[in-house]
Structure 1
Amino acid sequence: MIAHALQAMRAIVGREVAKFSRQTGRLVSALVRPLLWLAVFAAGFRNVFGLAIAEPYDTYIPYDLYIAPGLIGMVLLFNGMQSSLAMVYDREMGLMRLLLTAPLPRPWILFCKLTATAVLSLAQAGAFVVIAALLGTSLPVLGPQTPHVLLAAVSAALMLGALGLLLSVHIRQLENFAGTMNFVIFPMYFMSTALYPLWKLEESGAGWVWQIARFNPFTHAVEWMRYAMYGKDPGLSPWIVLGTLALCFFVASWGYDPQRGFGALTKRGGGPA
């Protein structure tokens, strides 16, 4: 049974990796967005945003170095949401019906899809880190802190992939994905510490944005990676990320179960059996 489950994981992850390897434009588009922010936005605001010495930094840092972990989070976030689009497409084409009728527990099949999403997310994030270093923004990812950085990045990729999995339960048509971009991705990214520290939000008087950013799981994913790179204690961020991962995956698994779930999938011809 275990061998069968691992074989299914290899097959699903291998299929997604093979499909991604044939989509060169997908990798390019995934990297262009954060690299534009790094090369243009960070350069333009380098002398506008003054960053005081604050945890996890021990000295003043340039703005591009501050937003780089947030841009890694952007790569993970957009690929996690892209996975929800792929899930909706597979459901409409009937592929999810075939996949979910496999003689394996449904949560395991979904976890295999989630693992495939995380693998692709981490590959794209790794490519971004390399190109950013070539552009002059070198992140401290190598050293004694590397295992902690990898743990933070993997956990963030899984959490955002689980969020995409949860959204795919509710997105019934491909046309609705644009609404997801407007109401999920952009608020989650901009109301976080990806672009500016929490203390700066509070200091500027943006109280409601500060409160949202404090409870935004994406904030804690970015902060966990940021603190891990400098070998500092990330506080409660790992627990919030892992808790959000478990909650999103549990609710998504429940939603994909036609016997107990939301029932939205079984009302469409392309939903799981």
Structure 2
Amino acid sequence: MKHALQAWWAIVQRELLKFSRQTGRLVSALVRPLLWLAVFAAGFRNVFGMAIAEPYDTYIPYDLYIAPGLVGMVLLFNGMQSSLAMVYDREMGLMRLLLTAPLPRWWILAAKLSATAVLSLLQAAAFLAVAAALGTVLPLWGPHTPHVLLAAVCMALMLGALGLLLSVYVQQLENFAGTMNFVIFPMYFMSTALYPLWKLEESGAAWVWWIARFNPFTHAVEWLRYALYDKDPGLAPWVVVGTGLLCFGLAAWGYDPQRGFGALTRRGPGGAP
């Protein structure tokens, strides 16, 4: 156990040190959601003047509605960036060294996932601090704070596990951008990050409503949104945790050289035999 914890900490520490030297990564992670908050939300600030819907008990400005979705954006993009880092490490041969360590393969991947989640949460905290300075203050503190933290941690782990799974099947860096476009944008825009489900149903976009309803990212954002207002999130926690476990299990299977698509210990960088 001591050896396993040392390996876990070494992997997490490596990712934190690498991130500390990449200041541009933090800036880019903050610029994207802040632009949405400052520009997009300003044009639709009073979009909820028509109705009051759960978890809100009164009318709220649009920037308060999309803020949890923008936190999800930060976590989503960092989870996908972790996938890119995994593909790069594999091409450079670093992943082969890690995965041949005398430790269970799933433990190594869990350590990578933990590092991704920690970095995601740090970036989300930085975004919330800047958003508060701009006047968008979420109700983070109170008896519900542990629930908010639990929702954010599970959300970061789920999206990190999704990135881990994608890194199995994205074999080269050149294929990464195209693959991400088919994951990030549909997952984000076909969710409740920017608009509630009842708005989609009311507008007649039935197919978008159905996709958003079953989108795991929708449930992650809704869990965080309901936790902020100390309301019951329903089935959302089960969907988020279940999706995260499923993605992690498939990723661990994929990185198994005997069964999965990864077969990393028998192939050179870039998938060459």
Under a length normalisation based on structure 2, what TM-score does the superposition of the two structures give? 0.97
Correspondence list, 1:49-64, <5 A: 50=49, 52-64=51-63
Give the match's secondary structure for 1:240. Answer: helix
- Distance (Å, rounded) in 2 between the aligned partners of 1:82 and 1:134: 27
Partner of 1:133: 132
Give the match's secondary structure for 1:7. Answer: helix
Partner of 2:172: 173
Partner of 1:191: 190
Correspondence list, 1:20-169, <5 A: 20-48=19-47, 50=49, 52-169=51-168
State the Cα distance separating 1:219 from its structure 2 match.
Answer: 0.3
Structure 2 letter corresponding to 1:185: I
State the Cα distance separating 1:177 from its structure 2 match.
Answer: 1.3
Q: Report the CA distance shift for 1:263/1:28 in structure 2 as closer, same or farther (over 3 A).
A: closer
State the Cα distance separating 1:50 from its structure 2 match.
Answer: 3.9
Structure 1 letter corresponding to 2:86: M
State the Cα distance separating 1:181 from its structure 2 match.
Answer: 2.4
Structure 1 letter corresponding to 2:7: A
State the Cα distance separating 1:49 from its structure 2 match.
Answer: 5.5
Q: Is the 8 A contact 2:47 2:62 kept in 1?
A: no
Partner of 1:240: 239
Cα deviations across residues 83-128 of structure 1 (Å, max 9, x unaligned)? 0000000000000000111110000000000000000000000000
Number of equivalenced pairs:
272
Percentage of identical aligned residues: 83
Q: Is the 8 A contact 1:162 1:249 kept in 2?
A: yes
Q: Is the 8 A contact 2:192 2:218 kept in 1?
A: yes
Q: Is the 8 A contact 1:221 1:238 kept in 2?
A: yes
Unaligned runs of 5+ in 2: none
Q: Report the CA distance shift for 1:185/1:43 in structure 2 as closer, same or farther (over 3 A).
A: same
When the two chains are superposed, the root-mean-square deviation of aligned CA atoms in Å is: 1.5
Q: Is the 8 A contact 1:12 1:116 kept in 2?
A: yes
Give the match's secondary structure for 1:232. Answer: coil
- Distance (Å, rounded) in 1 between the aligned partners of 2:61 and 2:129: 18
Q: Report the CA distance shift for 1:272/1:239 in structure 2 as closer, same or farther (over 3 A).
A: farther
Structure 1 letter corresponding to 2:60: I
- Distance (Å, rounded) in 1 between the aligned partners of 2:11 and 2:34: 30
Q: Report the CA distance shift for 1:272/1:135 in structure 2 as closer, same or farther (over 3 A).
A: farther
Give the match's secondary structure for 2:182. Answer: helix
Q: Is the 8 A contact 2:254 2:260 kept in 1?
A: yes
Cα deviations across residues 230-266 of structure 1 (Å, max 9, x unaligned)? 0000000000000000000000000000101125646
State the Cα distance separating 1:48 from its structure 2 match.
Answer: 4.8
Q: Is the 8 A contact 1:220 1:241 kept in 2?
A: yes
State the Cα distance separating 1:41 from its structure 2 match.
Answer: 0.4
- Distance (Å, rounded) in 1 between the aligned partners of 2:200 and 2:79: 27
- Distance (Å, rounded) in 2 between the aligned partners of 1:83 and 1:41: 27
Give the match's secondary structure for 2:234. Answer: coil
Under a length normalisation based on structure 1, what TM-score does the superposition of the two structures give? 0.97
Unaligned runs of 5+ in 1: none
Partner of 1:209: 208
